[in-house]
């Protein structure tokens, strides 16, 4: 049984959903294959979307025409802006979501997409013909042919669940682990590795001692994630906070011999920025207490996610641990915490377009590339879906640089640096983060989303109008003069002063007409004025980056003919084959001196 499509997406988690929708919306007859159709858009770990670094990714996904922000707003339980006490580059929206509703909305969206067919199947092999992808083979004698395939299998490749002394093949939340595909990829010679991640136990909220928990409400003003989705629910569910105790840590230390992390059962490397409770107790032995957050999993369930207590200790030890945490003394485990170990593909075999360097038409996206998190996966899926469609149409691939977006930072880090642990997006990874804020993602990227074909004209026009409003008010602030201490300043100069807000300046008669300007627009104006000097310096750095990115490196460039290059640089450049001077400069082992040699060599090539 053989079926023909333009593009096939294998896996319909967060990466696969975005890839399949993008490909279909760009006119490709697309097939999305899931191990279980009931797990489309599954959130197997925490019930939240966004946060520092990640919230910026979600806003950028939306500005480019992706789906995650729209679904997160629809399934929202609570929204909260984090890091409000820090600089503007660190602020990020995070929303708690109803896990089941998120899946329902995402699946319904996919089912209503005309060019998209979704189907339940277990893929066992990738079909190749003459160095090009030709489709996939699935159990039951099924063959699906296509000229483009996006692999978005998440943490399911050769995955196994580990709790205490027990381990068995399986995926997150009791899902199956597909057999055959990981072995097929290894037979093809694709470099792979093993990582691990984990989750905390889920507990029954009906047994909480509520008076011992600290209630944490969301923002009083609900801010949508999506620029394109309109209103968000005003009703919110709180989360709750508590802490571990010295007794908690004593129980963990007494049972470390039963932890698969310390007994040698787990071989894969885990995420440094999301450690297990065992790891925290061992690494920070002088800390007597760690924060714990109780997050609701939905409107219609009493199940809570115990954030901060990720563990793979045996279930009886998990129960004892929870019993020592204030408010959870009588907690009942609904799902035990577990570790999951899985195979990932080395992302350095990909280009920044997420296309494989050797296999034409083959794209990879999401946790299969060694990343962690829903948001990182969705961002990759969107880019892979767009570029699969552009590949099929013979168009130039979409490329986002480090100066354009957090998504550009994510892709560049993956393919240039590779991964030694599950990659998590952090605001500190973005060297141009002052200009890549969550509040201006639409102004930065919506034109690109419209040009690509995923953002409708009405949304793009609204974005342009917002940009024009901001510019007009900036012009007014430069024109209007305000009496201050016997002299006068422009309103812009006064706004630059610490403690002066745009809201206060709105009392000036000349600015009364701007009093009803949307809050997001006023915040954008205030940021541009107060940080003008820093933003200007950063813009100069971004322009220098763009000049380096514009200098293309031919794939067949003869690095061995440049004796001034260091031996390590030649090895790295020959192995990686960068597409631009900028990529070459960011490769580990390529020094500034090597970069100058490359720059001179490119200059000689460009001379007539």
Whole-model pTM? 0.94
Per-residue confidence (pLDDT) for residue 469, from 0 to 100? 96
128 sits in which H/E element: strand 123-129
Helix (H, G, I), strand (E, B) or coil at 559: helix
Secondary structure (H, E, C), 130-164: CCEEEEEEECCCEEEECCEEEECCCCCCCCEEEEC
pLDDT of the residue at 254? 96
Q: Per-residue confidence at 175, pLDDT binned at 50, 70, 90?
A: confident
Higher local confidence (pLDDT), 320 or 606: 320
Give the Cα separation of 445 and 443 in Å (integer). Answer: 6
The two three-digit tokens of residue 338, written as one number: 């577990």
Does residue 540 belong to any structural domain of this protein?
Answer: no
> In the structure, what pLDDT confidence band is assigned to residue 471 with cuts at 50, 70 and 90?
very high
Inform me whether the pLDDT recorded for 122 exceeds 70.
yes
**Tens of pLDDT, residues 382-416:** 999 999 999 999 999 999 999 999 999 999 999 99
Q: Please report whether residue 454 resides in a domain.
A: no
The confidence band for 89, taking pLDDT boundaries of 50, 70 and 90, is confident
Tokens of 168: 């068995």
Q: Which of 308, 341, 374 is the last residue of a domain?
A: 341
Shared domain check, 577 and 476: no
Cβ distance 10 to 21 under 8 Å?
A: no
Band of pLDDT at residue 142, cut at 50, 70 and 90: very high
Residue 402 located in a structural domain: yes
Confidence of residue 263 (pLDDT cuts 50, 70, 90): confident
Confidence at residue 579, expressed as pLDDT on a 0 to 100 scale: 87
Q: Identify the sign of the CA torsion 425, 426, 430, 433.
A: positive
Strand partners, 215: 240
At 345 the pLDDT is 97
Please indicate, yes or no, whether residues 509 and 556 belong to a single structural domain of this protein: no
Which residue shows structure tokens 């709180």? Answer: 238
CATH value at residue 505: 1.10.10.1800
Indicate if 332 and 409 belong to the same structural domain.
no
- Give DSSP secondary structure letters for 342-401: EEEE-GGGB-TTSBBSSSBTEEE-SGGGTB-SHHHHHHHHHHHHHHHHHHHTTPPPP---
Between CA 132 and CA 360 the distance in angstroms is 5
21 and 160 belong to one structural domain: yes
Instruction: Note whether residue 51 is domain-resident.
Output: yes
Mean pLDDT calculated for residue range 347-357: 96
- Cα angle: 278, vertex 329, 271; to 5 degrees: 25
Q: From 560, 569, 561, select the one nearest 592 (Cα to Cα).
A: 569
- Is 181 in the same domain as 206? no
- What average pLDDT score do residues 243-260 get? 96
Q: At 20, is the secondary structure helix, strand, or coil?
A: helix
Does the pLDDT value for residue 608 go beyond 60? no
Residue 487: pLDDT band (50, 70, 90) is: confident
Domain co-membership, 475 together with 584: no
Residue 232 or 475, more confident:
475
Cα Rg, the chain, nearest whole Å? 25
Residues 164 and 276 in one domain: no
Q: How confident is the model over 190-207, as pLDDT tens digits?
A: 999 999 999 999 999 999
Residues contacting residue 3 through CB under 8 Å, at least 6 positions apart: 31, 142, 143, 144, 145
Same domain? For 94 and 177 the reply is yes
Do residue 382 and residue 488 come from a single domain?
no
> What's the rounded Cα separation, in Å, for the pair 90 and 51?
9
The answer to whether residue 151 is domain-embedded is yes
Among 211-215, 294-298, 342-346, 593-597, name the one with the lowest average pLDDT. Answer: 593-597
CATH code of the domain covering residue 593: 1.10.150.570
28 and 154 co-located in one domain: yes
Given 341, 362, 388, which residue is the final one in a domain?
Answer: 341
pLDDT in tens, 9-26: 999 999 999 999 999 999
Most confident of 80-84, 369-373, 565-569: 369-373
Asked whether residue 82 carries a pLDDT value surpassing 80, the answer given is yes
Q: How far apart are CA 258 and CA 262, in angstroms?
A: 8
* Look-up of token digits 């322009």: 543
Confidence of residue 592 (pLDDT cuts 50, 70, 90): confident
CATH of the domain at 108: 3.50.50.60
127 found inside a domain: yes
Average pLDDT in the 578-607 region?
85
Average confidence (pLDDT) over 39-52? 96
Are 31 and 165 part of one and the same domain? Answer: yes
Residue 307 above 80 pLDDT?
yes
CA atoms of 591 and 316, how far apart (whole Å): 52
Classify residue 449: in a domain, yes or no: no
Is the domain of 28 the same as that of 98? yes
Please indicate, yes or no, if residue 545 is contained in any of the structural domains. Answer: no
Does the pLDDT at position 484 exceed 90?
no
Helix or strand run (H / E) with residue 602: helix 592-606
What is the domain count for the chain? Answer: 4
Sorted by sequence, the CB contacts under 8 Å of residue 316 that are 6+ apart come out as none
pLDDT above 60: residue 600: yes
> CB under 8 Å to 47, separation ≥6 — which residues?
77, 96, 97, 98, 99, 295, 296, 297, 298, 305
Q: How far apart are CA 9 and CA 461, in angstroms?
A: 31
Give residue 370's pLDDT: 97
Per-residue DSSP letter, 315: H
Predicted confidence band of residue 606 (pLDDT cuts 50, 70, 90): low
CB-based contact 27:343 (threshold 8 Å) = no
pLDDT band at 355 (very low <50, low <70, confident <90, very high): very high
Please report, in angstroms and rounded to a whole number, the separation of the first and last CA atoms in the chain.
56
* DSSP state letters, 459-518: HHHHHHHHHHHHHHHHHHHHH-EEEETTEEEEHHHHHTSTT--HHHHTTSGGGGGGTTS-
* Strand pairing category for 7-10 and 30-34: parallel
The CA distance from 566 to 590, in Å, is 8
Residue 386 has a pLDDT of 98
The rounded mean pLDDT for the chain is 93
- Sequence length of the chain is 608
CATH of the domain at 325: 2.40.30.260
* Range(s) of the domain holding residue 478: 463-535
What gap in Å lies between CA 595 and CA 569, rounded to an integer?
9
Residue that finishes a domain, picked among 341, 359, 394: 341
- Examine the pLDDT at 543 and tell me if it is beyond 70: yes
pLDDT tier for residue 531 given thresholds of 50, 70 and 90 = very high
């Amino acid at each position: 049984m053989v079926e023909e499509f333009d593009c096939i997406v294998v896996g319909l988690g967060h990466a696969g959903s975005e890839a399949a929708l993008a490909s279909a919306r760009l006119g490709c007859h697309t097939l999305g294959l899931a191990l279980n159709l009931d797990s489309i858009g599954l959130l197997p770990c925490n019930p939240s979307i966004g946060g520092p670094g990640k919230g910026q990714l979600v806003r950028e996904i939306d500005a480019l025409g992706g789906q995650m922000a729209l679904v997160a707003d629809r399934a929202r339980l609570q929204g909260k802006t984090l890091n409000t006490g820090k600089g503007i580059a660190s602020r990020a929206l995070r929303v708690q979501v109803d896990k089941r509703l998120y899946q329902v909305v995402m699946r319904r969206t996919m089912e209503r997409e005309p060019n998209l067919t979704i189907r339940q199947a277990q893929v066992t092999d990738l079909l190749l013909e003459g160095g090009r992808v030709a489709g996939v083979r699935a159990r039951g004698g099924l063959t699906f042919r296509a000229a483009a395939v996006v692999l978005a299998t998440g943490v399911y490749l050769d995955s196994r669940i580990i709790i205490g002394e027990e381990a068995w093949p399986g995926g997150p939340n009791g899902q199956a682990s597909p057999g055959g595909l990981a072995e097929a990829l290894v037979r093809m010679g694709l470099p792979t590795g093993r990582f691990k991640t984990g989750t905390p136990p889920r507990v029954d909220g009906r047994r909480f001692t509520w008076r011992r928990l600290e209630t944490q409400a969301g923002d009083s003003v609900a801010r949508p994630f999506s620029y394109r989705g309109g209103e968000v629910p005003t009703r919110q569910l709180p989360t709750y906070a508590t802490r571990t105790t010295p007794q908690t840590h004593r129980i963990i230390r007494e049972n470390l011999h039963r932890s698969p992390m310390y007994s040698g059962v787990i071989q894969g490397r885990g995420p440094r920025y999301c450690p297990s409770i065992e790891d925290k107790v061992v690494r920070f032995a002088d800390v007597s207490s760690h924060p714990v957050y109780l997050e609701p999993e939905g409107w219609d369930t009493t199940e809570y996610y115990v954030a901060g207590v990720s563990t793979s200790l045996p279930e009886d030890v998990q129960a004892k641990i929870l019993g020592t945490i204030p408010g959870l003394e009588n907690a009942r485990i609904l799902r035990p915490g577990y570790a999951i170990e899985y195979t990932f593909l080395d992302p350095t075999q990909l280009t920044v377009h997420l296309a494989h360097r050797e296999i034409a038409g083959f794209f990879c996206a999401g946790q299969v590339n060694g990343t962690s998190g829903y948001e990182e996966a969705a961002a990759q899926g969107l880019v892979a879906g767009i570029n699969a469609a552009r590949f099929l149409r013979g168009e130039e691939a979409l490329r986002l640089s480090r100066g354009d977006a957090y998504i550009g930072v994510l892709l560049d880090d993956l393919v240039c640096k590779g991964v030694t642990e599950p990659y998590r997006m952090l605001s500190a990874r973005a060297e141009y983060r002052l200009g890549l804020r969550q509040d201006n993602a639409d102004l930065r990227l919506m034109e690109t989303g419209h040009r690509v074909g995923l953002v409708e004209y009405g949304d793009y026009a609204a974005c342009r109008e917002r940009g024009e409003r901001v510019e007009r008010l900036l012009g007014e602030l430069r024109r209007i003069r305000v009496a201050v201490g016997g002299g006068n300043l422009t309103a812009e100069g006064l706004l630059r002063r610490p403690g002066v807000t745009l809201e206060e300046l709105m009392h000036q008669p000349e600015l009364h007409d701007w009093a009803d300007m949307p809050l997001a627009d006023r915040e954008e104006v205030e940021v541009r004025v107060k940080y003008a000097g820093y933003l200007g310096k950063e813009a100069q750095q971004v322009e220098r980056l763009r000049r380096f990115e514009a200098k293309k490196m031919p794939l067949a460039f003869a690095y061995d003919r440049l004796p001034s290059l260091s031996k390590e640089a030649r090895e790295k450049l020959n192995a990686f084959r960068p597409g631009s001077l900028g990529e070459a400069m960011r490769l580990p082992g390529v020094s500034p001196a090597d970069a100058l040699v490359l720059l001179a060599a490119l200059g000689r090539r460009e001379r007539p």
